[in-house]
Amino acid sequence: MKLFRVSRICIAVLFSLFVAGSLKFYGLAAQNESAAGQESVQSLQVTANDEIAAEDVAGHRVHLHPLRSRAAFRGRYEDPEVRQGNAHHETSETESVSPNSALATVPGVTSPGFYPADLSNPTRGKVLSSVQSNNVYVNCAPGCWGTPSTFLARLAVSNFIHVADEYVGTTANNRYTVGTATSINTALPAKLSSSDILKLVHTAAKAHGSGYDHVYHIFLRSGVDVCTSANVCYSPDNYPTFVFCAYHGGVDFRDIGHVLYTVEPYQNVVGCSVAQPSPNGALVDSTSSTLSHELIETITDPDGNAWFAQSSLIEYGAEIGDICENPFGKYGTFFIAGKSYAIQPEYSNRFHACATTP
């Protein structure tokens, strides 16, 4: 009887410790989500100086997140010309990769479970062991994109973000934080050019900081197109030029220096949205999937000379997120700091597969 009581006490203690640990973890997630819900947003205006800076940059490159029907469009660009990659190869929506049943059983590895190209970084290009995300909301409130700061706050304390650990060389927690956001209300054309984007980037970076400590996410509202060159666009209203869903890039301004950014057009459109139903609906999960894709690619290849596929003709130029795009937008549901999302996984050299855990 005494042994039985001791066992019950031990079980109770262990259970209490488990619950306490869980509450601590999810409490941190909830605290971050609460902070995101009360996001600090600074209203800024584009000035003549921002417009001048955007027109005369020392260097600029972007990497496109292709439209699903152009999933092998692995374009790596010097704006506005193609730099390298199989930019003229297209695939149909019906193409797929054969599954590898053994790898598909590894926890955190999603179906189909195997892809033919690991990432490499032979030149030891720059990676980001930490960075702060600064959202830039253009001509619309954060809710127009499903309050992405809430997702970023959860992502920052999730297990999923640690898929990047093997590429950046650290396993520390809370490395990818969410900083002050920017609200910009300004007259813009319906179709934005690279210069239009860069003046928004310059406006935010001038206020919050340049260099490798920040990445600026430029959110564009529904109905706004953006092009990196004449016929390479996010343009749901004009399919012949509709090539990409989003992109990330780096620019060297002559006055404030190097700035990292992503461009996040409205994702709840055919060719960019995740398949439905999804836990949070098409807007939130589609925005979150693309945002995580662009952020993690910025972390692992901010300047286009770090981690990308270099040993495969099929995947050449593809980054950590590109290889794991599903041609139908169908992604499994998994937890991001305790909340379900349907977002794409990221590529792991460790598993030689797309994964949601390190």
Q: What is the pLDDT of residue 314?
A: 84
Would residue 16 count as lying in a domain? no
Query: Considering its fold, how many domains does the chain have in total?
Result: 1
- pLDDT tens profile 228-283: 999 999 999 999 999 999 999 999 999 999 999 999 999 999 999 999 999 999 99
Separation of alpha carbons 156 and 288, rounded Å: 13
Q: In percent, how much of the chain has pLDDT > 90?
A: 73
- Average pLDDT of the chain? 84
Q: Which domain holds residue 335?
A: 29-84+110-355
- pLDDT tens profile 272-322: 999 999 999 999 999 999 999 999 999 999 999 999 999 888 889 999 999
Assess whether the previous peptide bond of 99 is cis (omega < 30° from 0): no
Region 34-56: mean pLDDT is 87
Determine contact, residues 344/337, Cβ cutoff 8 Å: no
Q: What is the pLDDT of residue 92?
A: 27
Would residue 151 count as lying in a domain? yes
Question: What pLDDT band is residue 88 in, cutting at 50, 70 and 90?
Answer: very low
Tokens found for residue 350 = 């460790």
- pLDDT tens profile 19-29: 344 434 444 44
Would residue 90 count as lying in a domain? no
Tokens found for residue 294 = 């662009």
Q: Which of the pair, 48 or 28, is modelled with greater confidence?
A: 48
Q: Where are the alpha helices (DSSP H) in the chain?
A: 2-37, 48-55, 101-104, 148-156, 165-168, 194-208, 281-300
Determine contact, residues 131/176, Cβ cutoff 8 Å: yes
Q: What is the pLDDT of residue 113?
A: 66
**Is residue 97's pLDDT more than 80?**
no
Separation of alpha carbons 46 and 197, rounded Å: 11
Tokens found for residue 257 = 């220096």
Q: Which residues pair with 65 in a beta bridge?
A: 246
Separation of alpha carbons 11 and 1, rounded Å: 15
Cα angle 130, 132, 134 (rounded to 5 degrees) comes to 160
Determine contact, residues 208/180, Cβ cutoff 8 Å: yes
Determine contact, residues 329/344, Cβ cutoff 8 Å: no
Separation of alpha carbons 276 and 263, rounded Å: 24
Would residue 94 count as lying in a domain? no
Would residue 95 count as lying in a domain? no
Would residue 217 count as lying in a domain? yes
- pLDDT tens profile 134-147: 999 999 999 999 99
- pLDDT tens profile 100-155: 434 545 667 776 666 778 999 999 999 999 999 999 999 999 999 999 999 999 99
